[in-house]
Structures are given as structure tokens and as C-alpha cells.
Amino acid sequence: MKDQIASLNGRIEELSQIKGEMEALLKQEKELNVKLERMLGEEREDKDALLQKHRVELDDLHQKLVNKSEEQMKELEKDIVAKMKLAIAKVETQADESLKKEKAKSDKLEKEKQAALDAVEQEKAKMRKLVKVLSNKEKQEIASSSSVGISQSDSNKMQRPVVSTQRGQKP
């Protein structure tokens, strides 16, 4: 029995030693677990901080893109306005040129009209002179025929040539 007790005491010591080793391992495992949980918490915090940093960067990038887009739109509007002003100026220039051409044509027609009116006036003056000459000739013929013996009543029967004129004009 002593052998058995010694064997059991050896075994108890062995088990005690194993228990001490196991407790040390458990303690190391708990410390490692605490360390890993702390590291995991730090990783989560780092991840959250990194996500927040990326959100801020994305917001900044978005704002920069919006600002750049607005600037480009303003420049595009300026370009369009400038092109429209050039087009308007070109149309105005063309309209002015057309107006000048039409004015020149109108002036030319007015001069031609005036020249035609002057020519008509000259023809009227010639016709008046002709009527006057014919009238004087008729008077001379009447005067010479009254000396030949034609009575005054016959001379009244002779008709004068009729010359038509425009309204307001003297023959």
C-alpha cells in the first residue's frame, strides 16, 4: 500500500504540476485574450476613424467637383454669351449693310424719280411754249383773215386746240 500511496503521491504531484502548468497556460491565454480584445477594439476604432476620414475626404472631393462644375458652367455661359454677342453684332452689321444698300437703292430711285419729274416738267414747259406759239399764230391768222374780210363772228367759231395738263398745272 505504501507503494500505492507513493505512486498516488507521485501522481498527485505530477497532476499538481500539470495543474500549475495548465493554470499558467490559462492565465497566459486570458492575458492573450484580453490583449487580442484590446487590439480588436483598437482595430475597430482605427477602422471607424479611417471610415470617418474617408467620408470627410469624399465630402471634400464632392464639394470640389461641385465647385469645379459650377466654374465650368459659368465659363461655358460666358463663352455662350460671348458667341451670342458676336452673332448679334454680325447680324447687326449685316442688317446695317442691307439697310445701307436699300437706302442707296431708295436714293437712286428717288433721283431717277426726280429726274423723270424734271423731264416731265421740261416737256410741259415746251408744250406751254408750243401752245403759246400756236395761239399767237392763230391770232395772227385771225388778224390777217379779218383784214381779208372774215367777220368777227366767224373768228369766234374757230376753236383753240385743247391741251390737257395735270391738276394744279397751268397750260
pLDDT tens-digit map of 59-74? 999 999 999 999 999 9
All three cell numbers of 117, joined, read 419729274
Residues 6+ apart with CB under 8 A from 5: none
Residues in the chain: 171
- Which amino acid is residue 136, in one-letter code? N
In percent, the amount of the chain with pLDDT more than 90 equals 74
Q: Is the pTM of this model over 0.85?
A: no
Give CA–CA dist 166/171, Å, rounded: 9
**Residue 152 clears pLDDT 50, i.e. is over it:** no
